[in-house]
Structure formats: structure tokens, C-alpha cells
């Protein structure tokens, strides 16, 4: 259920609502929109006497939320969510561009990518340090050293860092080096990990599970939000279908569907969706045209020699060309492209 607070309600009157909820052992999540204050109420409502909330002067109306996800639902923040991470906005008019290699292999490799992508709109440097690989015999990532490299290079080019962790044991260490923690497709329903990053309060990018429906994905988001962490970016990265021409199938319709169902920013990963560098451009343009708030693209200085995902990484030069085309689409759809 959400409580829509009457415009002009005083702080004391709002406090009265919060106290009532607390007395009934209900958890309150306050969302302060530009026009409205909304309180998401989570918990067993049987202790709440009928009419108890409606009688409070600050309550305008109560709206039941039928979906199993509550805080992630559009009703919780009808105007949409945008937030800043160290001054960089996500979910606002300006597109959020993230780029970098699949895996951190060396400082030189990351630097070669960062020097180019930072000059054409990217604000986040991506790079895997803890690599979730299908087989234990593939390159597993440089782990702690990888995070340090990412931070050093990002600072050199005024970029923020996004990187994946696969275990709750790594949250504290990673938080010292990264600005956004990525939860990958393979951990999309690792509920303990989701709750743990929810408690940490560090911004999170939650990728869609390989075979996760949109409602299940929103359930995953709810695990993070219900712990009080609202800085969440959803990342559509393709789903497994019967089609094998591409590594996954990019679910373009997930973009408008998410815009209707949730208030959270949506980023698209054309690299893991296609698995092939030659399709990254088309999927990127389509995603932005369909209303995505940004992209996360794998870029490697020499894709053929990459230690992971060699087939899907594009070169810095191709990223440069792509960014010009994204900027053109942005103009048409009234979004800003970062300069």
C-alpha cells in the first residue's frame, strides 16, 4: 500500500503517520517527489485498525499496490527516479553512458579504453574484476588488483567506476573502489546478495537474469529497495530464447514495459545481449530510440586478444563512431548526450 500525503501537510503531521505505522510494526519508505510525498508501507497490515490511517490529517489517500513488488512499482514514484552519483546524473534527461572492457586485464589495457571513451561521453568506466565465468578454467579476473586498476584509471580521466561483485563478502572491499556495484545476470536472483547490497546503500546496477521475467526481475529489485537502498539502475542485457544467432535476445520491449511498471532508470547492455561486435551498433541505437536511459558497452583496445568475451567487444574507434550516432538519436528524442 502507498500513502499519498496531502500537499501542504506539516512535518508533525507526516511524523504522526510514521508513528502510527511504527506502532503497527509496519515499515515506512518515504519517497519525496517534486510534487508529492509518498509513503510506501510494507508489512502485515492486519494490526492496522480499519480507517486508522484515513483519519490522520496528512493522509490524502491510500492506494493499494497489487503487484508483488511495491517500492519498485511506478506508483511509489510516479514522476520517475533520477539520482546523482558524485555529480553524475542517472535517469535524468542526459543519457548515462558506461563503457570499458569486459574484464580488467592490465592497467595499460584499461587506460587505452578510458582515454578514448571519456572523451566521447562515457561517464562510467566498466570492467570486470570478479568474473563470473561459465567454466572454472576460464580467466576469473584480477579481483582486488583489478578494482585498484579501475579506480586509478578512472580517476585519471574523471570517470566513475562500475564493477561486478559475486559475493556479499566482497561488498566492503569493492565499495572502497567502485561507485556502482553491478550484480550480474547469474546472480540476479541471489537474494542474500541482493539484500546485502541493499543494506550497503552503495548504488547498484542490477542486470536481468538470463531467464528472468520482468516481474521476477522487479522482485529482485525489491530485495534491494526493501533494505532502504533506492539507488538502483536496471540493466536489460538480453534473455535466453530459442534464437541462437545472437548470444542472447535483446528484449527491446522490456524498455517501455519497465517504464510503465517501475520508476527506476533503465540501461541497456548491447554487448552481452548480442555477443557479437557487429550487432552492437544496431542494438545500441534501437535501445536509445526505445527510451533507455543509457548504455553499458564493452570496449577493448584489441578485442581479438581479449581474455573474455572477445567476440563482442568493440574497439575504442568504433565506440567513438557509435557515440556520434547515439548523440544524433538523443537530439531527435529530446534527450541530452553528455559532452
Which positions from 80 to 109 touch Mn ion by CB under 5 A, shown as an x/- string? Answer: ----------------------x-------
Q: At what angle do helices 143-156 and 107-117 cross, to 10 degrees?
A: 40
Which positions from 35 to 74 touch ligand PEP by CB under 6 A, shown as an x/- string? Answer: ----------------------------------------
Residue 164 contacts Mn ion per CB under 5 A? no
Which of 153-161, 167-175, 178-186, 189-197 is the region at the interface with ligand PEP (rule: CB under 6 A)?
178-186
Q: Which one of 40, 91, 121, 184 is in contact with ligand PEP (CB under 6 A)?
A: 184
Residue 164 contacts ligand PEP per CB under 6 A? yes
Which of 176-184, 189-197, 243-251, 308-316 is the region at the interface with Mn ion (rule: CB under 5 A)?
308-316
Question: Rule CB under 6 A: which of 247-306 touch ligand PEP?
Answer: 269, 272
Which of 111-119, 136-144, 184-192, 315-323 is the region at the interface with ligand PEP (rule: CB under 6 A)?
184-192
Residue placing its CB nearer to ligand PEP in the complex, 255 or 330 = 255
- Select from 17, 8, 22 the least CA-distant residue to 54: 17
Residue placing its CB nearer to Mn ion in the complex, 102 or 142 = 102
Helices and strands (H, E) in the chain, number of each type: 10, 14
C-alpha 130/C-alpha 141 separation (Å) is: 5
Which H or E run contains 30?
strand 27-32
CB of 316 to Mn ion, least distance (A): 16
DSSP assignments along 150-206, one per residue: HHHHHHHTT-EEEEE--SGGGHHHHHTT-SEEEE-GGGTT-HHHHHHHHHH---EEE
C-alpha 263/C-alpha 67 separation (Å) is: 14
Residue 128 contacts ligand PEP per CB under 6 A? yes
CB of 182 to ligand PEP, least distance (A): 6
> In 10 A of CB 280, how many CB atoms?
25
Q: Which one of 77, 123, 151, 207 is in contact with ligand PEP (CB under 6 A)?
A: 207
With beta carbons less than 8 A apart as the criterion, state whether 187 and 130 touch: no
Nearest residue relative to ligand PEP (C-beta): 184
User: What does the DSSP 8-state code read for residue 46?
Assistant: G
Size of site (CB under 6 A) for ligand PEP = 11
Which positions from 8 to 47 touch Mn ion by CB under 5 A, shown as an x/- string? Answer: ----------------------------------------
With beta carbons less than 8 A apart as the criterion, state whether 248 and 211 touch: no
C-alpha 240/C-alpha 257 separation (Å) is: 18
C-alpha 242/C-alpha 156 separation (Å) is: 43
In the three-class reduction of DSSP (H, G, I as helix; E, B as strand; rest coil), residue 94 is classed as strand
CB of 232 to ligand PEP, least distance (A): 16
CB of 164 to ligand PEP, least distance (A): 6
Q: Which one of 78, 132, 275, 338 is in contact with ligand PEP (CB under 6 A)?
A: 132
With beta carbons less than 8 A apart as the criterion, state whether 153 and 146 touch: no
Residue 151 contacts ligand PEP per CB under 6 A? no
Q: Can you read off the three cell numbers belonging to residue 280? A: 552492437
Q: Which one of 73, 100, 309, 315 is in contact with Mn ion (CB under 5 A)?
A: 309
> In 10 A of CB 56, how many CB atoms?
17
**Sign of the CA dihedral running 196, 199, 200, 203:** positive
In the complex, the residues that contact Mn ion under the rule CB under 5 A are 102, 309
Residues lying near ligand PEP in the complex (CB under 6 A): 102, 128, 132, 164, 184-186, 207, 237, 269, 272
Amino acid at each position: 500500500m502507498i500513502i499519498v500525503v496531502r500537499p501542504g501537510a506539516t512535518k508533525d503531521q507526516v511524523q504522526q503517520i510514521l508513528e502510527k505505522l511504527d506502532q503497527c510494526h509496519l515499515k515506512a519508505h518515504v519517497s519525496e517527489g517534486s510534487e508529492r510525498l509518498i509513503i510506501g508501507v510494507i508489512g502485515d497490515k492486519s494490526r492496522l485498525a480499519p480507517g486508522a490511517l484515513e483519519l490522520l490529517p496528512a493522509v490524502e489517500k491510500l492506494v493499494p499496490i497489487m503487484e508483488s513488488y511495491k517500492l519498485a512499482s511506478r506508483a511509489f514514484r510516479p514522476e520517475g527516479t533520477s539520482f546523482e552519483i558524485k555529480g553524475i546524473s542517472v535517469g535524468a534527461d542526459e543519457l548515462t553512458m558506461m563503457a570499458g572492457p569486459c574484464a580488467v586485464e592490465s592497467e595499460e589495457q584499461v587506460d587505452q579504453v578510458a582515454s578514448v571513451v571519456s572523451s566521447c561521453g562515457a561517464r562510467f568506466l566498466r570492467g570486470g574484476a570478479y568474473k563470473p565465468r561459465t567454466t572454472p578454467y576460464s580467466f576469473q579476473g584480477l579481483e582486488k588488483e583489478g578494482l585498484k586498476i579501475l579506480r586509478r584509471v578512472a580517476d585519471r580521466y574523471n570517470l566513475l567506476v562500475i564493477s561486478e561483485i559475486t559475493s556479499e563478502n566482497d561488498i566492503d572491499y569493492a565499495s572502497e573502489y567502485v561507485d556502482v556495484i553491478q550484480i550480474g545476470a547469474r546472480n540476479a536472483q541471489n537474494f542474500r546478495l541482493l539484500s546485502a547490497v541493499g543494506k550497503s546503500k552503495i548504488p547498484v546496477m542490477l542486470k536481468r537474469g538470463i531467464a528472468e521475467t520482468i516481474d521476477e526481475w522487479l522482485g529482485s529489485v525489491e530485495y534491494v529497495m526493501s533494505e532502504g537502498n533506492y539507488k538502483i539502475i536496471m540493466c536489460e542485457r538480453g534473455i535466453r530464447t530459442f534464437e541462437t544467432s545472437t548470444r542472447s535476445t535483446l528484449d527491446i520491449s522490456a524498455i517501455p514495459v519497465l517504464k510503465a511498471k517501475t520508476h527506476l532508470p533503465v540501461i541497456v547492455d548491447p554487448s552481452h545481449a548480442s555477443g557479437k561486435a557487429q550487432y552492437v551498433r544496431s542494438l545500441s541505437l534501437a535501445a536509445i530510440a526505445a527510451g533507455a536511459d543509457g548504455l553499458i558497452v564493452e570496449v577493448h583496445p584489441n578485442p581479438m586478444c581479449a581474455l573474455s568475451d572477445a567476440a563482442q567487444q568493440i574497439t575504442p574507434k568504433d565506440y567513438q563512431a557509435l557515440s556520434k550516432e547515439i548523440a544524433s538519436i538523443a537530439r531527435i528524442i529530446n534527450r541530452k548526450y553528455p559532452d
